[in-house]
Amino acid sequence: MAGSRGSPCCCCKLCCCCGERETRTPEELTILGETQEEEDEILPRKDYEKGRRFEVVKWTVVFAIGFCTGLVGLFVDFFVRLFTKLKYGVVEASVEECSQKGCLALSLLELLGFNLTFVFLASLLVLIEPVAAGSGIPEIKCYLNGVKVPGIVRFRTLLCKVFGVLFSVAGGLFVGKEGPMIHSGAVVGAGLPEFQSVYLRKIQINFPYFQSDRDKRDFVSAGASAGIAAAFGAPIGGTLFSLEEGSSFWNQGLTWKVLFCSMSATFTLNFFRSGIQFGSWGSFQLPGLLNFGEFKCSDSDKKCHLWTAMDLGLFVVMGVIGGLLGAIFNCLNKRLAKYRMRNVHPKPKLVRVLESLLVSLVTTVVVFVASMVLGECRQMSFSSHVRNDSYQQVRTEDVNSSMKTFFCPNDTYNDMATLFFNPQESAILQLFHQEGTFSPITLALFFVLYFFLACWTYGISVPSGLFVPSLLCGAAFGRLVANILKSYIGLSHIYSGTFSLVGAAAFLGGVVRMTISLTVILIESTNEITYGLPIMITLMVAKWTGDFFNKGIYDIHVSLRGVPLLEWETEVEMDKLRASDIMEPNLTYVYPHTRIQSLVSILRTTVHHAFPVVTENRGNEKEFMKGNQLISNNIKFKKSSILTRAGEQRKRSQSMKSYPSSELRHMCDEHIASEEAAEKEDLLQQMLERRYTPYPNLYPDQSPSEDWTMEERFRPLTFHGLILRSQLVTLLVRGVCYSENQSSANQPRLSYAEMAEDYPRYPDIHDLDLTLLNPRMIVDVTPYMNPSPFTVSPNTHVSQVFNLFRTMGLRHLPVVNAVGEIVGIITRHNLTYEFLQARLRQHYQTM
């Protein structure tokens, strides 16, 4: 080599023949003392630029999701305010006039006309898209847990959800618009990165990014957090909500993107609301749809404190009561939901509309009659601690102007009407900040009426949220406790607003059983960090108390739907089970080379999402290879896919033969003599000889049959990978196959972009035109299968299986024994709490 480098002639010859010389690996170039040419560095640099461009696009899409979610919240808030102002403007004028003329029945009819019309429109929208009913949080929770709920993130669902919640809130139902904002944000997160919709087929934009379920799930997480950030002005709380209640598969890179999306939604909504309501664009004075205002003692009361250490004991007691009330609420709502599933849902859809109208009718009559009969006229008092900034002045004016004088003389207000004849957000502000006390009897009656009506309402066929009704109900409970402590026990130093806030947190925590995210959401909504400890203690106690009796409201509705939701971890006693105890041994599988008629039969007779790719372990494989090309291809693939240490060492030795070092050549020459003979041996067959049992010679173009014996159905199968249903259907639709008298190399090849072109709505096997397919053609699935999916041993503990399944976001987990045979498969159904409990009982019975 020294002579070669020193000879000009040789160098010239090398330059002339550089286009024909064999390509050398980087290791060879290092030994030769050469450097890689500049052109060889272009591809890695292109890949790096492509990765950076992908990251930039991802951050841009995350911002767009937050921006659009903020606009959705702005749209909902604007029209809810518009419809509510229109309704109450007409009704209040009628009530004031009819109070003197004695025609209050006419005022009630006017209120009924508005409410029934709005609720009827909301119910019609749910008939168009049934998954738009409710808050959508249980469905989104299922989606982020790995369960695909049909239609949950479609564009039509978003339209029905947004317009439906407008009418249901404006219709006077005890529902909130904050819960549906989470669902709306999730739909925006799912649809925006795709730039297409099944209902807007004419809009087709070529956007070759994010064509996978994992990317879509990440964007749905970001959209859900943006929804709650826009609802409460709590971007950090929204991020924690997505982590605590939503996403099952979290990663560090997702945290920043979700927080950025939440910030984008919050400040988008804040910017436009501040400009529209106050005319001060860019002032950012209204951070969310629901804001609790500033908690501050009156300047004239020197003994007042927001809370003291002595109050923590009272907060713990309130947390216990809130947990008990939440458990009662959830129990009653569960019974109502079961009744609806048995007696309402099976009937014609019109029955659901009639139920919604019945709830609206009863709610309207109760609100009107309670305000007229049960309300107490109290002396009007105005706040004295008004700050100079315009936002606080406007907020205080809103609190004072929302007091209703229905059926009361001048300079007095009706405390019951003030709570009922106002938007729920205004009623919450009244309970938090109004210095004039509400009557304890009024608060008790309001709490009881609101509790049962809100419980009845949640679950009817309208878009509805539960956050604000729970906060309002709990705020009345907390204000009642404060009034009792002040009036009957003599604790005059306590601040009623603090107890109202703690009561709201206790009841909401008892219903939804959230801790970390709800604590941060309430702190961000109050802008008061000193409330962190009372809120956290109250929520923890409420959750512990409620969990003693039943689950949270969202988990209850998830279980009623029969969704296989995975918890965060399994119980300790489940480790008595192994993977072999919970797996499904009855498999539906495909071969590496399979006829079209077999694939169509398998796909049309099963609903499995994925299929193991296997080959059979035959004792007379050489005879089979002579008689059938299809079987020969499968056996050849099995032989080529077997990995042994000796085979790997031969490959490394072959690659080292090209090195110019005499020592490396000498090492390679030692293995040349035995190379040809070793390649012809079936090493796997030698491993299996000791456990080989005879079984029928079944051809791989035969579909599974119910007539098979136990030995035929459960014969040994070597596992090679997993292939998805969507991939098999795509191969059939695109005609990817070859004939039996051809080599599999003649089969057309599809790129990844072509395989993912129909994502996320792949064609259905039942829509396939079978006349266009030759059933005797063969499909080679090996280029498209996943050759290295996650697998577990039959002896793996259930806790390890569960953690692997949940943290990696799996849908299928093959169980493979020590010699590479698949013995079963584990799906989400096999890891549900009910299934594991049943298997554990069987385990105890067989001990």
Q: Which residues pair with 792 in a beta bridge?
A: 815
Tell me which fold the domain 50-278 belongs to: Clc chloride channel (1.10.3080)
Confidence bin at 143 (pLDDT 50/70/90): confident
In this predicted model, what pLDDT tens digit does every residue of 405-429 receive, in sequence order? 777 777 777 888 888 888 888 888 8
Of 99-103, 314-318, 673-677, 764-768, the poorest mean pLDDT is in: 673-677
pLDDT confidence of residue 202: 53
CATH architecture of 309-351+362-380+400-561: Orthogonal Bundle (1.10)
In this predicted model, what pLDDT tens digit does every residue of 122-134 receive, in sequence order? 999 999 888 888 8
Amino acid found at 512: V
Q: Around 575, how many Cα atoms within 13 Å sit in the side-chain half-sphere?
A: 6
Q: What does each C-alpha distance from 263 to 63, 119, 131, 562 come to in angstroms?
A: 9, 33, 28, 35
pTM attached to this predicted model: 0.77
Mean per-residue pLDDT of the chain:
77
* Mean pLDDT across 551-572: 83
pLDDT confidence of residue 693: 32
- Whose tokens are 């063969």? That residue is 778
Of 483-487, 663-667, 816-820, the poorest mean pLDDT is in: 663-667
Q: In percent, how much of the chain has pLDDT > 70?
A: 74
Q: Identify which of 218-222, 240-244, 505-509, 656-660 has the greatest average pLDDT.
A: 505-509
Of 405-419, 454-468, 783-797, the poorest mean pLDDT is in: 405-419
Strand, coil or helix: what is 379? strand
One of 3.10.580.10, 1.20.1420.30, 2.150.10.10, 3.40.50.2300 is the CATH number of 568-627+712-846, namely 3.10.580.10
* Mean pLDDT across 12-41: 44
* Mean pLDDT across 677-704: 40
pLDDT confidence of residue 434: 77
> What is the C-alpha to C-alpha distance for residues 319 and 538, in angstroms, rounded to an integer?
5
* Mean pLDDT across 731-744: 82
Assess whether pLDDT exceeds 50 at residue 703.
no
CA dihedral 364, 365, 366, 367 (to 10 degrees): 50
Of 123-127, 529-533, 663-667, 770-774, the poorest mean pLDDT is in: 663-667
Other CB atoms closer than 10 Å to residue 100's CB: what's the count?
7
Confidence bin at 1 (pLDDT 50/70/90): very low
Q: Identify which of 190-204, 542-556, 721-735 has the greatest average pLDDT.
A: 542-556
Domain with CATH 1.10.3080.10 in the chain: 50-278, 309-351+362-380+400-561
> What is the C-alpha to C-alpha distance for residues 226 and 65, in angstroms, rounded to an integer?
8
Cβ–Cβ < 8 Å for 765, 600: yes
Confidence bin at 247 (pLDDT 50/70/90): low
> What is the C-alpha to C-alpha distance for residues 650 and 677, in angstroms, rounded to an integer?
12
> What is the C-alpha to C-alpha distance for residues 126 and 353, in angstroms, rounded to an integer?
9
How would DSSP label each residue in 380-418?
--------SSHHHHHHHHHHHHT---TTS-TTEEEHHHH
Confidence bin at 536 (pLDDT 50/70/90): very high
pLDDT confidence of residue 645: 43
pLDDT confidence of residue 713: 59
> What is the C-alpha to C-alpha distance for residues 496 and 736, in angstroms, rounded to an integer?
72
Output 765 or 725, whichever has higher pLDDT.
Answer: 725
Domain with CATH 3.10.580.10 in the chain: 568-627+712-846
* Mean pLDDT across 304-319: 85
Confidence bin at 540 (pLDDT 50/70/90): very high
pLDDT confidence of residue 699: 43
Output 528 or 394, whichever has higher pLDDT.
Answer: 528
Query: Angle between the 104-128 and 155-170 helix axes, to the nearest 10 degrees?
Result: 170
Cis before 760 (ω within 30): yes
Assess whether pLDDT exceeds 50 at residue 5.
no
Of 408-417, 556-565, 701-710, 823-832, the poorest mean pLDDT is in: 701-710
In this predicted model, what pLDDT tens digit does every residue of 745-771 receive, in sequence order? 878 888 877 777 777 677 777 777 777
Cβ–Cβ < 8 Å for 238, 227: yes
* Mean pLDDT across 676-697: 38
Find how far residue 532's CA is from the centre of its chain: 28
* E strands, 402-495, in order: 412-414
746: DSSP letter:
G
